Chains A and B, each alone.
Chain A
């Protein structure tokens, strides 16, 4: 039992040492843009979640909204629908593999929608640092409430893969 306590202590200590370095990196003066902080190897891998607010299709500022995605981390898209039905557009998507979908009940949150469509994705197995990717989904029917944010009934997110390790 004593050993267990000690090893727990060592884990803490290691994490602190790593984090201490990160502080130095963050504090470096005159840096252009953000530094890439290390993420722990044992972190629970929650997905990058994209909602209609992340759509770049039809947006004048699309170029400044290209995401960075870390290699090996999962992706998820959540879009309001029902009765509108969102589907994955495979031939207009790049570097992602669909990993399942569902619909969760979410009534009275957004006019004309009863649910949220949830799509899981993984980066393609051969994705590597610097690669560009695209996720595209579309619906034939679009509730009026969503027309301003996804004017063409199309949802697009664009990203670059980074591999800080």
Chain B
């Protein structure tokens, strides 16, 4: 029997899954080598969408293992999905969801006392962030200061996605949602809690793109113990195959999945063009992504489309980045989809290379066209730089430095004042404090931020609401009109980014390292976006106002 037929039969066996669902199995899928699945989707209608975003426990077969994880589902779905279902919206849409938290404690260390279990209860608190959407961060919107405990009443979130009438519509591309409760974010990401948001718009009308089969591909890294649960404990980095250990220790494994599947097969015909939208949702691993023997014609970065396709051999994706590209099937054959070995600065050297999936080129040959022109990307407004700032990134992983200003994830590790946090990460020498305003900026202005990295770790900078462009690397000017919302900083180097704070979105929000264990352990700070015309520049960090 041909391999492909076998794969199909394996798929048929999985078709018996309803019986398993009754036992609480959300997804009896994912023997290595099965076909890449499409994620469930929900689409807005007539400019509006409302659903529930429910986090529920499920059991997921990943490779040869059964994992026990919380997973997102929308209201209309019977079971959770690992990763979460995809939302499809358009610029100008309003969408709303009620977040419901039904997480239960899992991954508890052997021998933990009830007190030790209770002390970590914040690890099941959650909220939701719409990464990259240029929407209000105010309460009830994309507000990452909210927290929802298991069993709390549903928490409503409402978003007005900027439309054409604003003059700066949300660019059409790939965005995403994930939990952002400080101290719990990384663990919930290692549990796979993440989902794609596709904003549809101008680029979808490019004929060659409209004709292409589209795939939304979410890359997750699941950090699991032998019971298939994510350790519910403090964590510390280590060398070796699995990059983190827990405190207390338990054996861990790291599984790099595509759409919740271990090493799935993606099918493509020779000469066929497909459109892949890839989301790097893993909290720590950088993906230096390549598809063996194939050029990636990149058409967008972090949700923002390009003017024309850019052919590249591989794309570096830091945690939180999105890359969208066209891929044209080469000669019939089997090709590796790889996360190439990458030195991101983790203790013990480069993260190992991984084959995360297989491209199988087979079937009838065709010769699909690739586009030469795409769309007109948004432009940086031509106005003077209102302010230049410098932000310094520094981590501390010896375990020997007393607790900083904030009591974040380090408290979750079970430490008290007599002990030392396992790790701490600082912006401008400080760990996160929700009550401090680290930067006051004014909506409608342009600023340059120089991000100085004192570590070898390539901390990826992320800021909420507004994307940015890179204007200098290590002080040398760069001519690049790519928009980003996450950019890795060079080891022991610096990047200068230029931001335009859109005039119609104000409020308090955050910027942080998108290595989520760094964020949870301090590497985040607050930004107050003040209304146009205000003058908050001389306010101290204690003042959460916009005028003196």
Chain A interface residues toward B at CB < 8 A = 1-2, 4-6, 8-9, 11-13, 15-17, 19-20, 22-23, 26-27, 31-40, 42-54, 59-61, 64-65, 67-68, 70, 73, 76, 78, 80, 104-111, 116, 118, 145-149, 160, 162
> Is there an interface contact between B104 and A27, defined as CB atoms closer than 8 Å?
yes
- A sample of 20 more A-B contacts (CB under 8 A), given A8-B31, A110-B398, A149-B420, is A9-B13, A12-B28, A16-B20, A16-B66, A19-B68, A19-B228, A32-B114, A33-B113, A33-B116, A34-B117, A36-B110, A47-B251, A49-B240, A50-B249, A73-B251, A78-B240, A106-B348, A108-B455, A111-B398, A116-B348
Q: Which residues of A contact B455 (CB under 8 A)?
A: 108
> Is there an interface contact between B251 and A48, defined as CB atoms closer than 8 Å?
yes
Contact of A19 among B66, B422, B456 (CB under 8 A): B66
> Is there an interface contact between B456 and A108, defined as CB atoms closer than 8 Å?
yes
Complex Cα–Cα for A16 and B25 (A)? 7
B397-420 Cβ-contact flags toward A at 8 Å (1 or 0): 111111000000000000010111
Contact of B110 among A27, A47, A70 (CB under 8 A): A70
Q: Which residues of A contact B384 (CB under 8 A)?
A: none
Q: Which residues of B contact A5 (CB under 8 A)?
A: 6, 9-10, 12-13
> Is there an interface contact between B418 and A12, defined as CB atoms closer than 8 Å?
no
Contact of A116 among B57, B347, B418, B492 (CB under 8 A): B347
Q: Which residues of B contact A65 (CB under 8 A)?
A: 248
Q: Closest 10 interchain pairs by CB?
A: A148-B400, A149-B400, A39-B226, A68-B110, A68-B111, A49-B245, A53-B399, A34-B108, A46-B251, A34-B112
Q: Which residues of B contact A1 (CB under 8 A)?
A: 1, 6, 9
Q: List which B485-517 residues lie within 8 A (CB) of chain A.
A: 492
B371-411 Cβ-contact flags toward A at 8 Å (1 or 0): 00000000000000000000000000111111000000000
Looking at the assembled complex, report how far the CB atom of A149 sits from the nearest CB atom of chain B, in whole angstroms.
Answer: 4
B96-119 Cβ-contact flags toward A at 8 Å (1 or 0): 000000001110111111101100
10 contacting pairs across A/B (C-beta < 8 A): A5-B13, A8-B31, A26-B105, A36-B110, A47-B251, A48-B249, A54-B247, A68-B109, A145-B398, A146-B398
Q: Which residues of B contact A26 (CB under 8 A)?
A: 104-106
B77 within 8 A of partner (CB): no
Complex Cα–Cα for A51 and B236 (A)? 8
Looking at the assembled complex, report how far the CB atom of A162 sits from the nearest CB atom of chain B, in whole angstroms.
Answer: 6
> Is there an interface contact between A51 and B238, defined as CB atoms closer than 8 Å?
yes
B241-256 Cβ-contact flags toward A at 8 Å (1 or 0): 1100101111111000
Complex Cα–Cα for A54 and B347 (A)? 16
B548 within 8 A of partner (CB): no
> Is there an interface contact between B23 and A20, defined as CB atoms closer than 8 Å?
yes
Contact of B23 among A17, A44, A67 (CB under 8 A): A17
Q: Compute the total of residue contacts between A and B using a CB distance below 8 Å.
A: 185
> Is there an interface contact between B248 and A68, defined as CB atoms closer than 8 Å?
yes
Counting chain B CB atoms within 10 Å of each CB, which of A6, A20, A23, A59 scores highest?
A23
Complex Cα–Cα for A76 and B40 (A)? 41
> Is there an interface contact between A33 and B111, defined as CB atoms closer than 8 Å?
yes
B61 within 8 A of partner (CB): yes
Looking at the assembled complex, report how far the CB atom of B411 sits from the nearest CB atom of chain A, in whole angstroms.
Answer: 14
Contact of A149 among B20, B237, B242, B399 (CB under 8 A): B399
Complex Cα–Cα for A55 and B104 (A)? 30
Complex Cα–Cα for A153 and B234 (A)? 24
Q: Which residue of B lies closest to A38 (CB)?
A: B227
> Is there an interface contact between B349 and A105, defined as CB atoms closer than 8 Å?
yes
Looking at the assembled complex, report how far the CB atom of A66 sits from the nearest CB atom of chain B, in whole angstroms.
Answer: 8
Q: Which residues of B contact A105 (CB under 8 A)?
A: 349
> Is there an interface contact between A109 and B347, defined as CB atoms closer than 8 Å?
yes
Complex Cα–Cα for A48 and B455 (A)? 28
Complex Cα–Cα for A156 and B6 (A)? 52
Q: List which B205-251 residues lie within 8 A (CB) of chain A.
A: 225-229, 234, 236-242, 245, 247-251
Q: Which residues of A contact B57 (CB under 8 A)?
A: 23
Complex Cα–Cα for A51 and B105 (A)? 25
Looking at the assembled complex, report how far the CB atom of A128 sits from the nearest CB atom of chain B, in whole angstroms.
Answer: 16
> Is there an interface contact between A34 and B111, defined as CB atoms closer than 8 Å?
yes
Contact of A51 among B1, B16, B399 (CB under 8 A): B399
B24 within 8 A of partner (CB): yes
Complex Cα–Cα for A9 and B110 (A)? 30
Complex Cα–Cα for A73 and B251 (A)? 9
Looking at the assembled complex, report how far the CB atom of A143 sits from the nearest CB atom of chain B, in whole angstroms.
Answer: 9
Q: Which residue of A lies closest to B11 (CB)?
A: A5
| Given A15-B66, A26-B104, A105-B349, A50 and B245 contact (CB-CB distance below 8 Å) | yes
B59 within 8 A of partner (CB): yes
Q: Which residues of B contact A108 (CB under 8 A)?
A: 455-456, 492
> Is there an interface contact between B112 and A46, defined as CB atoms closer than 8 Å?
no
> Is there an interface contact between A46 and B252, defined as CB atoms closer than 8 Å?
yes
Q: List which B408-447 residues lie within 8 A (CB) of chain A.
A: 416, 418-420, 422-423
